[in-house]
Chains A and B, each alone.
Chain A
Amino acid sequence: MRYFDARVIENRSLGGGYFVLRLGGCESLTGSRPGQFVMLRGDWGRDPLLPRPLSLLSVAHEGRADLLVKVVGKGTALMERSPPGSRVSVLGPLGNGFPVPSADVADLLVAGGVGLPPLFMQAESAGRLGMANGSEMLYGARTSRDLVLLGEIRALGIALRLATEDGSLGRRGRVTDELEARLDHWRAAASPRRLRIMACGPREMLWAVGRIAQSCDIECYLSMEEQMACGIGVCLGCAVAARTRPYLYVCKHGPVFPAAEVMAYAPAASTSQSEGGAQ
Chain B
Amino acid sequence: MTSSLDTREEEAPALHTTCGGIEFRNPVLTASGTFGYGEEFDALLSLRSLGGLVTKGISPQPRLGNPPPRICETAAGMLNSIGLENVGVEAFAREKLPFLRSCGTRVLVNFFGTTFDEYVDCGARLAALDGVDGLEMNVSCPNIKQGGIEFGRDPTVLGDLVKACRAVVRKPLWVKLTPNTSDIVSLARACADNGADAVSIINTITGMAIDVRTRRPKIATVFGGLSGPAIKPIALRMVHQVRREKIPIPICGIGGIQDGIDAIEFLLAGASCVQVGTQSFVDPASAERIVREIEEHCRAQGVSDVGELIGALETGK
Instruction: Using CB atoms and an 8 Å cutoff, list the residues of chain B in contact with chain A.
Output: 33-36, 40-41, 43-44, 64-65, 67-73, 75-78, 80, 82, 85, 211, 213-214, 228-229, 258, 278, 280-285
Question: With A and B bound together, what is the CA distance between A89 and B282 in angstroms?
Answer: 10
The total of interchain contacts (Cβ-Cβ below 8 angstroms) comes to 101
A sample of 17 inter-chain contacts (CB < 8 A) reads A1-B43, A49-B228, A49-B278, A226-B68, A227-B68, A229-B71, A229-B80, A234-B36, A234-B41, A235-B33, A235-B82, A235-B281, A236-B70, A237-B80, A238-B70, A241-B67, A247-B85
Cβ of A151 within 8 Å of any chain B Cβ, yes or no, is no
Assess the A50–B70 pair: CB atoms within 8 A. Answer: no
Q: Which residues of B contact A234 (CB under 8 A)?
A: 34-36, 40-41, 280-281
- With both chains docked as a complex, state the minimum distance between the C-beta of A195 and any C-beta of chain B, in angstroms: 31
CA distance A234 to B36 in the complex (A): 5
B282 lies within 8 A of A3 (CB): no
The CA-CA distance from A41 to B76 in the complex, in Å, is 14
Bound-complex Cα distance A148 to B130 (A) = 57
Contact yes or no, B285 A46, CB < 8 A = no
Is A48 an interface residue, CB under 8 A from the partner? yes
Q: How far is the CA of A50 from the CA of B69 in the complex (A)?
A: 16
Q: Verify B69–A236 contact, CB threshold 8 A.
A: no
- Within 8 Å CB of B77, what residues of A? 49
Assuming A49-B229, A229-B281, what are 6 further A-B pairs, CB within 8 angstroms?
Answer: A47-B75, A49-B77, A236-B85, A241-B68, A272-B213, A276-B72
The residues of B that contact A232 with a CB separation of less than 8 Å are 36, 40-41, 44, 284
Q: Is the Cβ of A233 less than 8 Å from the Cβ of B36?
A: yes
Within 8 A of B (CB), among A204-247: 226-230, 232-241, 246-247
A247 touches B64 (CB 8 A): yes
Across the interface, B282 reaches (CB within 8 A) one of A50, A237, A240, A274, namely A50
Chain B CB within 8 A of A123 CB: no
Q: Are A3 and B40 in contact (CB under 8 A)?
A: no
B29 to chain A, nearest CB (A): 15
Is A24 interfacial (CB-CB < 8 Å)? no
**Which residues on the A side are within 8 Å of B65 (C-beta)?**
236, 239, 247
Identify the interface centre among A48, A229, A275, A276: most chain B CB within 10 Å of its CB. Answer: A229
Residues of the B chain whose Cβ atoms lie less than 8 Å from the Cβ of A226: 68-69
Highest count of chain B CB atoms <10 Å: which of A228, A236, A238: A236
Minimum CB distance partner of A74 in chain B: B73
Name the CB-closest residue of B to A240: B68
In whole angstroms, what is the CA distance A162 to B80 when docked? 39
User: Are B71 and A3 in contact, CB atoms less than 8 angstroms apart?
Assistant: no
**Is A121 an interface residue, CB under 8 A from the partner?**
no
Q: Which 5 A-B pairs have the closest CB atoms?
A: A237-B71, A229-B281, A234-B36, A230-B281, A246-B64
- Which of B34, B258, B278, B282 has a CB less than 8 Å from the CB of A41? B282
Contact check, A237 vs B76: say whether CB atoms are below 8 A apart: no
CA distance A46 to B227 in the complex (A): 13
A101 interface residue (CB < 8 Å to B): no
The residue in chain A whose Cβ has the minimal distance to the Cβ of B213 is A272
Closest to A51 in B: B282
Q: Quote the shortest CB–CB distance from B58 to chain A (angstroms).
A: 14
